[in-house]
Amino acid sequence: MPMPPRNRRTSGAAVAALGAAGLIMLAAAPAAFGDESAPELVVGGVKPIGGVKPGSVFDVPVTVANKGTVAAEKVWVSYGVTRGLDFAEVPSNCRVQHVRSYDEMPERWIAACAFDQAVAPGAVYTLEKPLRVKVLDRALNDGLLLRVGDADPGVDENGYPPVQGTAPAVKLIGGPAGGAGSARVVDVPVTAVNTADYQVTGAALKGSVGDTVTMKVTFTNAGPAWWQPRPGDRSVSVKVTPPAGTSVVKRGQFCRVEGKRYSCGMRSLYEGSGETYTFELKIDKRVAGAKGSVALSTEPRPFDPNKANDKADITLDVTGGDSTGGSTGGSTNGSTGSTGSSTNGSTGSSTNGSDGSTGGSSSTGGSSSTGGDGATTNGGNLAETGSSTLPIAGAAAAAVLTGAGALLVVRRRRTQSPS
């Protein structure tokens, strides 16, 4: 399997900012950075698509227009679909590439179609037969990205080798008057009628006063759909409250302190994916009826109707020590969990979907989720898990300051001591 090139892990904010800026520049002024006499191709004809169901197929009726003053001698139209969608058939003048998830972008398939036809200034064309897209079982919050240009868009270096289509070739034909688009790049949301069952599991702990015990709680997207946040969507997180009478020696990966509890993110919201949060708890004292919890955050999730598995108990059976009453809430102390990242482990051909069930996006794409209740940005995952990035930075700064202070004291003492 081809490996992504090194040094591509720029920050999620930088990637998102550059991507947004690029789209704005392409959409608003495609000819501003080149030859003013060059063709100015734009694409349109597709509106947001909603209400589609897994197993169904829909057409993409694209229009292509030339708003410039010079004819385009050849036209390329590219269709990019996220992992809940696939191409029903691919004409022989198109190639399809499967691109793995990287940076803040989810796994996707790109069909690039070449048309050896001149497009005169002011002309509007459409395809004689629209490209057909099928809706997969995991579809829910997906998207279609359209691009048009007068040069070969090339292939993505993070993708697998492209595959040429086998269906009959299609060509451009005269389109409807006034049907011209307005941009070189158009992002079309595709929303399917589907569900994704987010669920958590708790833990049953047992030990004596003074013991350190391991607590493992989990999050799982049991599917059938995956989830890709869109701009403005509030992201899911897992809230972990340790039982009273315990203190946290080591917190789980991707978890940060939030008052008397911990807020934990996840690397992937792919169907079948999950996260295990492993905490080390010290039993400080015996508290009668001590009980903690693990629960999903409370942002609206209309696609997840099963609320029975959104919360679970963390029980603690303590032997030895005297009962100290029924105080609630666990300690917020604990060492910082490692962050880490994971790349998507999906495989598959260019047109038949990937298994992607256990791989997490290294971004965002894919499909991502913050560790808190804030809004998430497009596509990415690990950059928005709400992991211990900020706590780690704070701890590192504190360590530097503490070390500097200790060094200063030592130097002063040495200066004051007799020679």
pLDDT tens digit sequence for 385-415: 333 333 333 333 333 333 333 333 333 333 3
Query: Using one digit for the tens of pLDDT, what is the confidence trace for 12-40?
Result: 433 343 343 344 333 444 443 345 678 99
- The pLDDT assigned to 275 comes to 98
Cβ atoms within 10 Å, residue 370: 24
Average pLDDT over residues 57-80: 95
Average pLDDT over residues 227-250: 94
pLDDT category of residue 175 using cuts at 50, 70 and 90 = confident
Q: Name the pairing type of β-strands 203-208 and 311-319.
A: parallel
* Of the listed ranges 71-80, 266-275, 289-298, 366-375, the one predicted with least confidence: 366-375
Statement: residue 214 has pLDDT above 70: yes
Handedness of CA 54, 55, 59, 60 (dihedral sign): positive
- The pLDDT assigned to 334 comes to 47
Question: Which residue, 97, 58, 59, is CA-closest to 78?
Answer: 97
- Residue 182 neighbours by CB under 8 Å, 6+ apart: 27, 42, 44
Statement: residue 342 has pLDDT above 50: no
pLDDT category of residue 176 using cuts at 50, 70 and 90 = confident
In eight-state DSSP terms, residue 398 is H
Calculate Rg over the CA atoms of the chain: 27
pTM of this prediction?
Answer: 0.69
Amino acid at 273: S
Statement: residue 102 has pLDDT above 70: yes
Average pLDDT over residues 219-243: 95
Q: Which pair of tokens denotes residue 232?
A: 């403005």
Can you tell me the distance from the alpha carbon of 179 to that of 176, in angstroms, rounded to the nearest whole number? Answer: 5
Query: Using one digit for the tens of pLDDT, what is the confidence trace for 110-126?
Result: 999 999 999 999 999 99
Average pLDDT over residues 140-152: 96
Whether the domain at 12-191 and the domain at 196-387 fall into the same CATH topology: yes
Query: Residue 313: phi, psi to the nearest 5?
Result: -85, 155
Beta carbons of 148 and 39 less than 8 angstroms apart:
no
* Cis bond upstream, residue 224 (ω within 30): yes
* Of the listed ranges 71-75, 370-374, 376-380, the one predicted with least confidence: 376-380
Question: Which residue, 118, 111, 125, 129, is CA-closest to 169?
Answer: 129
> For residue 375, what are the β-bridge partners?
234
- The pLDDT assigned to 177 comes to 75
pLDDT category of residue 309 using cuts at 50, 70 and 90 = very high
Can you tell me the distance from the alpha carbon of 160 to that of 177, in angstroms, rounded to the nearest whole number? Answer: 39
Average pLDDT over residues 231-235: 88
Tell me the Ramachandran region of residue 272: left when phi exceeds 0, alpha when psi lies from -120 to 50, beta otherwise. Answer: left
Can you tell me the distance from the alpha carbon of 325 to that of 38, in angstroms, rounded to the nearest whole number? Answer: 79
Question: Which residue, 203, 195, 276, 190, is CA-closest to 230?
Answer: 190
- Residue 414 neighbours by CB under 8 Å, 6+ apart: none
* Of the listed ranges 186-195, 214-223, 291-300, 405-414, the one predicted with least confidence: 405-414
> For residue 234, what are the β-bridge partners?
375
Q: Which pair of tokens denotes residue 236?
A: 């899911």
In eight-state DSSP terms, residue 383 is G
Beta carbons of 73 and 172 less than 8 angstroms apart:
no
Mean pLDDT is highest, among 99-113, 202-216, 361-375, for 202-216
Highest CATH level, class, for 12-191: mainly beta
Query: Residues, the chain, total?
Result: 419
* Of the listed ranges 254-263, 298-307, 323-332, the one predicted with least confidence: 323-332
Highest CATH level, class, for 196-387: mainly beta
Can you tell me the distance from the alpha carbon of 71 to that of 49, in angstroms, rounded to the nearest whole number? Answer: 32
Question: Which residue, 381, 377, 369, is CA-closest to 263?
Answer: 369
Question: Which residue, 382, 349, 348, is CA-closest to 365?
Answer: 382
- The pLDDT assigned to 348 comes to 35
> For residue 243, what are the β-bridge partners?
none
Which tops the pLDDT comparison, 102 or 308? 308
Average pLDDT over residues 130-156: 96
Cβ atoms within 10 Å, residue 127: 22
pLDDT category of residue 321 using cuts at 50, 70 and 90 = low
Query: Residue 303: phi, psi to the nearest 5?
Result: -80, -5
In eight-state DSSP terms, residue 153 is -
Statement: residue 316 has pLDDT above 50: yes
> For residue 354, what are the β-bridge partners?
none
Average pLDDT over residues 157-175: 95
Give the SS3 label for residue 289. Answer: coil
Query: Residue 146: phi, psi to the nearest 5?
Result: -110, 140
Task: Locate the domains of the chain by residue range.
Answer: 12-191, 196-387, 392-419
| Percent of the chain's residues with pLDDT above 70 | 68
Give the SS3 label for residue 392. Answer: helix
- The pLDDT assigned to 249 comes to 97
- The pLDDT assigned to 324 comes to 52
Statement: residue 231 has pLDDT above 50: yes
Q: Average pLDDT, whole number, for the chain? A: 77
Beta carbons of 97 and 156 less than 8 angstroms apart:
yes
Measured at the alpha carbon of residue 133, what is the angle toward residues 130 and 136, in degrees to the nearest 5? Answer: 170
* Cis bond upstream, residue 242 (ω within 30): no
Average pLDDT over residues 166-190: 91
| Residue at token pair 């009959």 | 168
Average pLDDT over residues 229-238: 91
The most distant pair of C-alpha atoms in the chain lies apart, rounded to whole Å, by 96
